[in-house]
Amino acid sequence: MPEAGNYPDVTDAPSFDIEAADAGTGVTIAVRAFGQTRIYALQGTDQADFAGFYAELARDFGTRPLVKTPKLPPDAPEPPWQPLLTENISEQILAGYGDPAALKTDDGYVLVATSNDAPDAFPILRSNDLASWTHEGFVFPQGQTPEWTAAGLKVGDFWAPEMTRVGDEYWLVYTARDKAHLLGIGLAKAKYPAGPWTDLGRPLLTGGNIDGHIFVEGDDRYLFWKEDRNGIWPRKLAAFLRDRPELINDIYDTEMDRLTARFAAAVVAWAGTRRSIERFFLMQPFIAASVEAWPKLRACLQRCGGAEEILAATQTPILAQRLRHDGSSFVGSPVTIIANDLDWEGHLVEGPFVWKQDRRYFLFYAANDFTDPAYGIGVAVADDPLGPYRKHQKALLSSSRNWTAPGHPSIAEGPDGTPHIFFHAFFPGTGGYNVFRALLTARLRFDGDQVSIF
């Protein structure tokens, strides 16, 4: 086999041949290419196991590893972010404070966060000053998850909870998988932030919709959410390139990414047999390679026949719709608020949060891939909750040397009376599903349509 990085012409490279099988709690993957066979034994099927596998595959065959180093100019200043929670404050909180939603109440601040497949869903934390925090329990403790949801280790996915005061009660929207393992958005209500919480008993939305946000103005309630199309295109694109390998050189510029695309084309059939999060792990290097080639990728798909479904899935919309007064159903039709159409946004926008300031409506959102340093937070502004929204062309928050992949914003008034943005970020060199995410904040300054941090 030629040394990685020295294959003379990837166009003529043989396709990868993959054989994989379960082996105890992990898997064994045999990879054949360049006339050589390598066998990889994964001890488990978590993020770290697949990251290790791709590091070895990169060494042996020249594919893309899962690199987590942000691309920063040498003189880039460290942004004025304030870390609030940098470790799990309870042994029941397993992966930190991803997708944090902060709410200021009469009794201080309440925070809820993603719990993924942990036994207890959605930790509830409280603080009087944002400096000291106490863990007050969970929205859905172990054994009390809503009947419609799939729950349990490596089964459930409880993401992006958000708590809102509506009248004299609290509403919580959240993402979970239903019994068919389709992502949907649920709604629960409580008299107090600590609960007990009563679920609606069914999803508000299902069929691949996530990241619900409720915006309340007077008697009007709006639900904002993301249609999770970015979960569709990677495997469909890999299968498309398996059948059309001649397109790989047109899309990807480097030998490393061309080999990564060939490997994805070979592994995609087996990936389709795995649980949802494993399918994502298996496609991660291919997603990174494709996002880096995004303009060329979309242009190629537009020229090619038979790629219409893939092309449509590369546009991820955030939508909004009015809710009935009790939140149990919708009024009217959904409106597309924004979609990923800026280069820095990559293949998705998600995590919407609307904040009203000086008669304007500011939509804060995350974009790009949450495991990658390219992930960041953007802003759009409108004169009506349902838009049209005008985007800022550059991200408000991007990776720094001390923190990577800032994402999923929420806004609340800080102790000093100024609006604060709350968000998660990874420690440098880390990132992924069930990897610890810290809670950070920064103060916001509004000037007309513009927003900055200080």
Rounded to the nearest 5 percent, the helix, strand and coil shares of the chain are 20, 40, 40
Neighbours of 88 (CB within 10 A): 15
Distance CA 447, CA 215 (A): 22
Say yes or no to pLDDT of 12 above 60. Answer: no
Average pLDDT on 118-139 reads 98
Predicted local confidence at residue 156, as pLDDT = 95
* Contact by Cβ (8 Å): 320, 386: yes
Closest residue by Cα to residue 401 from 124, 117, 71: 71
The pLDDT, as a whole number, for residue 6 is: 46
SS3 3: coil
- Find out if CATH 2.40.40.20 is the number for domain 82-228+316-453: no
Q: 330 with 309: CB under 8 angstroms?
A: no
pLDDT at 408: 98
pLDDT digit string, tens, across residues 239-265 = 999 999 999 999 999 999 999 999 999
* Stretch 344-358: mean pLDDT: 97
**Is the separation of the CB atoms in 241 and 247 below 8 Å?**
yes
Residues in the chain: 454
- Give the pLDDT confidence score for residue 111 in this predicted structure: 98
What DSSP designation does 205 have?
Answer: B
Lateral strand order in the sheet of 101-105? 101-105, 108-112, 121-127, 134-140
Q: What residue segments make up the domains of the chain, in order of their start?
A: 10-69+230-313, 82-228+316-453
Q: What is the pLDDT of residue 66?
A: 85
**What does the pLDDT read at residue 3?**
45
Average pLDDT value over all residues in the chain: 95
**What predicted TM-score, i.e. pTM, was given to this entire model?**
0.94
Q: Determine the pLDDT at residue 67.
A: 75
Q: Which long-range contacts (CB under 8 A, 24 or more apart) does 58-61 make?
A: 58/4, 58/256, 59/4, 60/1, 60/4, 60/31, 60/36, 61/1, 61/4, 61/16, 61/31, 61/33, 61/34, 61/259, 61/263
> Could you report the per-residue pLDDT of 55-107, keeping only the tens digit for each?
999 999 999 998 778 888 888 899 999 999 999 999 999 999 999 999 999 99
**Concatenated DSSP letters of 258-326:** HHHHHHHHHHHHHHTTS-HHHHHHHHHHHHHHHHHTHHHHHHHHHHSTT-HHHHHHT--EEEEEEEPTT
For CA atoms 274, 277, 278, 279, the dihedral sign is positive
The pLDDT tens digits of the residues spanning 179-191 come to: 999 999 999 999 9
End-to-end CA distance of the chain: 53
> How confident is the model at residue 13, as a pLDDT?
56
pLDDT of 4 reads 43
User: Which helix (H) or strand (E) element contains residue 50?
Assistant: helix 47-61
